[in-house]
Chain A
């Protein structure tokens, strides 16, 4: 069991349990809670088994390499302090799970609760066991996230949602600060490894970045641990189910900040800035929390502010910077977790049994629930610091430390008094909690008749209260050794001698304790009646943290909205102009600075045919731009002509693959656009008479024209400057040299695509598939505009002709229309398919390949569709584009994975030639299989998109006019 690998199980198991719980049926309360309990206990046992190692002062480490070059590994470590904390997290976690099993109503989706709770527990363990700063920040964020889900568990409840959001924003913002702080810390220490950081105290203290790093880390810890002024989220988080409060506000979540401060205490403390910031914050939190707790009317609210106050106490102790204070801080962390968890659980029982948590309505409950009352009284006494209980011991240590001089500032003088005052407050609210709830006359008018809770729900409280008593009475025998190893691991050589005895004689701290006990009780007797009328805390009640928070949030949102309104626009044209102008400016800038010149290379001789080609191509492009508004078909043809010029240029420039693919794609694009033409609205003639265009329009168009010309000139100038400069050496050399020897193909472009950069191609065909599916899905919901659902003009005339002539049935002319071309197109189908297959097979050695072959195949289908009409084709031929796509993707991925079988990395290729009679050598590289995958995906995607658009013409009229059978005429594919 001493294998450090088990640490990984401790962190991973709760997440695994969370995933399992998430899939349990909503009624699976027992199964989910048993699973969670078993996992928590298993974790606790693993941690317990490490104790012999930890006791000897060893640090258990487990490391999994992740990005070793960046110093980022998954590192888990366990020393005395983290052992104590992990035990706390798991032990109280197990008790909370038991409690929650009986607390949660079967009507709630309980498995979801346990899924969140376990994930939260895993995240908390992740923080505690992390041996790496970045990893701590990661799990830190996870706790914020899962606490958000837990607090908002009853999400039908507005206050739960608000509380969850507030907690997430406050702790999440703190988490960002923490991450930056930890990054700085890691840089100062030269490593992100916790042990390395802990060893780099002097380097960190000497660094300039110490103060910013300290402040950022403290913001992170203070937001998490609800320190003033970030404390306001904690009371609002009380909207969570009580087991969540019991867990989050005792052993976890809020203790994460304390944990981090303690963990980093050896390296960060001991400076003036640490002392000033941490001590004052802790002191303020201690007093504010205790003061506000007195005036709460809600039991959970009282406990929430008391939690804030105790967290302040621990922070204060850590801030003092003396080793003894650190011992007290660690000790009080454990004690607070035990008594606060049991108090929350007791509150939950009271809430459950009576139906209210309002102190003003509760009274005399001791008669109805004597056992719960006794348990709560002991726990509250521990909170107040009554002797013979664990809270007393750590509070004595605190008071003793308060008396010590630490800095020689005014804090030294004031601290003993303020500490006694805070202790008195603590007694005050504890007495109020107990007396108001359990004593006095029997309660009247409660929602439920109170009764003792079932035994199983009390068991966790009993265990915790027993712990309070045992630690309080025989500390040295119970917590002693564990505290010693924890203190040793944090303080190392600085470990002071401390005594866990109950009786130190008549000392000043003891006197302060008794003054606090007496004063607190006396204050309660004096003010108990008046307190019940109080609506908000005096003095600090005006400082509404929540209102400030919401005001800040609203201000941020408003500012963002204002900025967006002023700088943003929803107009696409304006956005496009801005993008192009920016690109132009950025493109011009280097030329303005360095000047423009052509390169040293001589121009190659101009071929007049090429000149003629581009005379036509350029004219077509310009004409298309001119005509696109009113003559869409003409513009489409012109763009196609320009595309043809590009296609020929590719072949001219020794890129046969490109020419081929471009030509095929050109055809498919043209068909696609033609298919869409039908659904576009009639172009209205100009709104204004031609000669009197508004000046704004002229200015805008003029501006666009100038911008377009500037862009064109810029692109031309850039291209010319580039082409006249010699080519720098590039990776192309490697591709050419290794294409045949390494990739087994002579067509270098194809070898690059399917072999060298096969992974990119895999990504690309995935993108293609996604696009095709998106197109398909979008079109399923497509409803055309009303004026375009009529049968096209030509069909109407054909039908009218059928109706007029005697020997024609309806639709005859449509069938006879373009009869000869249709027969030819049908006959072309196998020819084009064969051509496509040829392109595919030769792709590795000669121009061709999966892309070109895929598009050629889809063109074959396209011809068939155009010849026969959608219905006829689909009656006889089942085209399943989605299957093509999935088969293609599977084929490509399987080819890649097959390399693993032979012990090579993903997508390693193998090549050989197969000689067939008659046909000759066939390149049979594994890359060919990959190319077949590419081919199938391209066929599938192209067909899916084209067929989806083609289907609109046979589907949409029916969708609008379901009764008219005439509307269901077979539409031809290119029915534009």
Chain B
């Protein structure tokens, strides 16, 4: 599983980076989405892989044993990251729309150089 997840992270990163370098704003936005998938997966993986052990504890004190559950900390981090990355995507999108309206092109530099 570890090697599979690593490959998944790698593929997402590579596709994201490729799109990040493209000259069109829409490509860059999609690239950032892919990159944020990769980063979120990476952070969750930092808690190591556990199946069927969601960090939902029981109410009696004995069940509060960290060894029984997947690490909740990276999950909390990623949860906020998901919401924030949605917000930044929206912001970037609007900036690109405004720039498109102002400059008449969707090139990232606001002027059509070489494609």
Contacts and interface: CB of A to CB of B under 8 A. Distances in A.
Interface stretch (A327-335, A435-443, A599-607): A599-607
Given A654-B53, A771-B87, A576 B21 contact: yes
Interface in B45-101: 45-59, 61, 64-66, 69-73, 75-76, 78-80, 82-84, 86-91, 93-98, 100-101
Interface in B24-57: 24, 26-31, 33-34, 37-38, 40-42, 44-57
A628 B27 contact: yes
Contacts of B96: 676
A622 B56 contact: no
Contacts of A709: 14
A948 to B, nearest CB: 8
A138 interface: no
B110 to A, nearest CB: 9
Main secondary structure of the interface of B (DSSP, over half): helix
B75 A655 contact: yes
Contacts of B14: 708-709, 711-713
A646 B40 contact: yes
Contacts of A655: 44, 54, 70, 75, 78
B56 A736 contact: no
Given A628-B30, A748-B56, A785-B100, A649 B10 contact: no
Interface in A660-691: 661-662, 665, 668-669, 672-673, 676, 679-681, 686-687
B17 A753 contact: no
Interface string A636-648: 1001001101100
A749 B17 contact: no
Contacts of A715: 9-10, 13, 38, 42
A747 B56 contact: yes
A719 to B, nearest CB: 4
A714 B80 CA distance: 25
A662 B81 CA distance: 10
B98 A724 contact: no
A748 B55 contact: yes
B82 A658 contact: yes
Interface residues of B, number: 92
B66 to A, nearest CB: 4
B54 to A, nearest CB: 5
Contacts of A893: none
A621 B22 contact: no
Contacts of A738: 64
A716 B7 contact: yes
A738 B63 CA distance: 11
Contacts of A646: 12, 37, 40-41
B108 A740 contact: no
A108 B4 CA distance: 74
A12 interface: no
A657 B69 contact: no
Contact of A605 (B1, B9, B86, B88): B1
Contacts of B29: 673
B35 to A, nearest CB: 9
Given A654-B70, A672-B90, A719-B9, A621 B56 contact: no
Interface in A544-580: 570-573, 576-577, 580
A681 B18 contact: no
Contact of A761 (B22, B70, B80): B80
A634 to B, nearest CB: 11
A625 B64 contact: no
Contact of B26 (A658, A668, A680, A845): A680
A724 B48 CA distance: 8
B66 A732 contact: yes
A96 B17 CA distance: 65
B109 A749 contact: no
B86 A665 contact: yes
A788 to B, nearest CB: 9
B31 to A, nearest CB: 8
Given A661-B79, A741-B61, A771-B90, A711 B13 contact: yes
A625 B19 contact: yes
Interface string A768-804: 1001101100110111110000000000000000000
Contacts, number: 333
Contact of A736 (B48, B65, B95, B104): B65
Contact of B84 (A712, A748, A767, A778): A767
B49 A753 contact: no
A715 B37 CA distance: 12
Q: Which of B7, B54, B106 has the most CB of A within 10 A?
A: B54
A845 to B, nearest CB: 7
Contacts of A771: 87-88, 90-91
A480 to B, nearest CB: 69
A604 B17 contact: no
Interface in A822-856: 845-847, 851, 855
Given A715-B42, A720-B6, A778 B11 contact: no
A635 interface: yes
Contacts of B50: 653-654
Interface string A52-68: 00000000000000000
Q: Which of A572, A718, A730, A761 has the most CB of B within 10 A?
A: A572
Interface string A728-747: 00111101111111000011
A727 B20 contact: no
A582 to B, nearest CB: 13
Interface in A870-929: none
B30 A712 contact: no
A782 B98 contact: yes
Given A665-B86, A680-B100, A772-B87, 16 more contacts: A605-B1, A614-B5, A617-B12, A629-B27, A642-B37, A646-B40, A653-B70, A681-B106, A686-B115, A717-B6, A727-B48, A737-B64, A746-B58, A747-B55, A767-B84, A774-B94
Interface of A: 570-573, 576-577, 580, 601, 603-607, 610-611, 614, 617-618, 621-622, 624-625, 628-629, 632, 635-636, 639, 642-643, 645-646, 649-650, 652-658, 661-662, 665, 668-669, 672-673, 676, 679-681, 686-687, 696-697, 704-705, 707-709, 711-720, 722-724, 727, 730-733, 735-741, 746-749, 752-753, 757, 760-761, 764, 767-768, 771-772, 774-775, 778-779, 781-785, 845-847, 851, 855, 938, 941-942, 945, 948-949, 952
10 contacts: A572-B28, A617-B12, A624-B30, A628-B24, A642-B12, A650-B44, A655-B54, A697-B115, A713-B10, A752-B76
Interface of B: 1-24, 26-31, 33-34, 37-38, 40-42, 44-59, 61, 64-66, 69-73, 75-76, 78-80, 82-84, 86-91, 93-98, 100-102, 104-106, 108-109, 114-115
Ranked nearest first, the 10 interchain pairs of A and B with the lowest CB-CB distance are A712-B14, A716-B10, A654-B70, A720-B6, A625-B15, A708-B18, A748-B72, A708-B17, A748-B55, A752-B76
